[in-house]
Amino acid sequence: MDSHHITLANVVPDDGVVVLSLHYQSGLQAAPTRVQVEPGPDGTEMIPFLRLRMDRPVARVTITWKE
């Protein structure tokens, strides 16, 4: 992790989804592109958590953003 990206290893979805305890922000992108980034469902937070959608496990996911 640094000020422009987070890299996760051995990411295994549960029913196609991984919810991270990180706040979602518009403009987030994931690589590989088959991993979709979206706001997660959490009724207790004003800013939703980050949800990754993927059809199968991924060896490495990198989430990037711009300042």
- Domain of residue 56 covers 5-64
The residue written with tokens 């993927």 in the block is 54
Residues written for the chain: 67
Return d(Cα 62, Cα 29) in angstroms, integer: 8
Task: Give the count of domains, the chain.
Answer: 1
According to the model, what pLDDT value does residue 41 have?
76
**Mean pLDDT value across residues 1-10:** 92
**Residue-wise pLDDT tens digits, 7-61:** 999 999 999 999 998 888 889 999 999 999 999 876 666 788 999 999 999 999 9
67 pLDDT more than 80: no
Return d(Cα 17, Cα 35) in angstroms, integer: 10
